[in-house]
Amino acid sequence: MTTPETIETERPHGKLTDDELLAEMENIGAILDGFKDTWGHLEHEVYQRIEERGAKAIPSETYVCELETNAKYDHPSFVPLKEVFNEADLRRCLTPAHSERVEVQDKWATATVKSLAAKYGAEALRIVDHARMETRGRLIFKRRNK
């Protein structure tokens, strides 16, 4: 059974009227939007400082603030590997373009491409390196454990 005491402890906003409840949601929503906006500006400043310094992090004894590095590859740049890798190795790392109902482009298994390129040597490694694209990674931010 719901008593006034359980409403206060289990449902802290249970005594609000419908309009009061919705007004409070509007108010808190506006506050959250302000915080999100401020967070975005702070995050932008962090990215700018890291970029200006040519760094991957902002050094701090109190916080961890670093870019997660994600290497991405321009898959069309792998096409010359079709002339370098043998057929068996190509089958391991390439799903060729094909049509079902829609055109499906070539798809490369990047991890396999990279390991095979090391086996094939300089030409294959040059192609893989040329395909590498630097991307701004996700920002990792947290307080260091003491």
Print burial letters for 56-72: b (CB count within 10 Å at least 16), e (below 16): eebeeeeeebbbeeeee
Give me the pLDDT at residue 104, please: 76
Q: What percent of the chain has pLDDT over 90?
A: 61
pTM beyond 0.85: no
Give me the pLDDT at residue 146, please: 72
pLDDT tens-digit series, residues 69-111: 777 888 899 999 999 999 999 999 998 887 778 777 888 998 9
Mean pLDDT of 127-131: 91
